[in-house]
Amino acid sequence: MSANSIDILFQQLRAEGRKALMPFITAGDPDLSFTAELLPKLVDAGGDIFEVGIPYSDPIADGPVIQASYTRALEHHIKLKDILTTLGSAAPKLAAPVVTMVSYAIVYRHGIQRYVDDAKRAGVAGLIVPDLPADEAGQLAPVCRKADLSLIQLVTPTTPRDRAVRIAETSSGFLYYVSVAGITGERTELPPELVDNVGWLRTKTSLPICIGFGISQPEHVHRLAPVADGLIVGSAIVRRVAAASTRPRSEVLAEVAEYVRTLADALRGVGAAARSAAL
């Protein structure tokens, strides 16, 4: 899909009264052939847009499950160029945009212009750079803008409200709302104020808002979907993928796809209920 495919996706979903399901996977865990095989299966299972983590030795805000996946990938000496080559083969065939979750250290070391050019060439639609504050994105933002590559910014529960508005104004594609203070990981409980905080932010921006960190259960989907444009699910997927190093890959692929399908079904149920209520 083209680089502005994120905007197109959310326009379509809004028109249909649906919300996006965004699975996160780690590139190269357990290897890049598995990554290439997993992506289309998750599209078939109901994934609308994908966040692909670029392994990094010092991840930012990632909990133990995702950190372990990065370690597994790096132990196989995975290279950025190989990840982008794999995405270049897989992403254009997907009926869903792909964004990379990447440390700014990787982007900077690769070269800002070069990373954006290579990502664009690989069919990547946007970048999430968690260790790059919005106030310090002055070099990367114009390069992304010129390439029509979305630069997706993060808002956390501790972000002051005036700053959250400024971040929304400088973001493109969608706004990533971090549900909890702390690191990624599956949680049984999410903060009670989360729905109100996202609801407030929605009154301040027309940009789609996607919620991530801790989402792992259909119950989370039912609670958050009414105020979000999309839900990001990472650790619960990565934990299941980890079994691919010791079990038949076909089984793991099927199990991960079935798990994503349960969340997609929950999202569709929320959308159908909302449309019925509006009639």
Dihedral of CA atoms 89, 94, 97, 102 in degrees, nearest 10, equals -40
- Please indicate whether residue 51 is annotated as part of the active site: yes
| Residue 184 contacts residue 194 (beta carbons within 8 Å) | no
Q: Is it the case that residue 187 has pLDDT exceeding 60?
A: no
Q: Is it the case that residue 54 has pLDDT exceeding 60?
A: yes
CATH number at 13 reads: 3.20.20.70
Residue matched to tokens 């990632």: 62
β-bridge mates for residue 211, sequence order: 177, 231
The closest of 98, 91, 100, 101 to 36, measured between CA atoms, is 91
Identify the active-site residue in 7, 29, 62, 118.
62
pLDDT the model gives residue 26: 96
> Average of pLDDT values for 92-113?
95
Q: Is it the case that residue 253 has pLDDT exceeding 90?
A: yes
| Residue 147 contacts residue 117 (beta carbons within 8 Å) | yes
Confidence of residue 4 (pLDDT cuts 50, 70, 90): confident
Per-residue pLDDT tens over the stretch 219-238: 888 888 899 999 999 889 99
Identify the active-site residue in 51, 118, 186, 229.
51
Domain count, the chain: 1
SS3 call for 154: strand
Q: What average pLDDT does the structure give for the chain?
A: 89
Q: Is it the case that residue 181 has pLDDT exceeding 80?
A: no
* Least confident piece of the model among 13-27, 98-112, 172-186, 197-211: 172-186
pLDDT the model gives residue 63: 75
| Full domain range(s) for residue 170 | 5-278
> Average of pLDDT values for 36-52?
97
Q: Is it the case that residue 3 has pLDDT exceeding 70?
A: no
pLDDT the model gives residue 1: 43
- Please indicate whether residue 62 is annotated as part of the active site: yes
Q: Backbone phi, then psi, for 145, in 5-degree steps?
A: -60, -45
pLDDT the model gives residue 228: 94
pLDDT the model gives residue 125: 96
pLDDT the model gives residue 219: 86
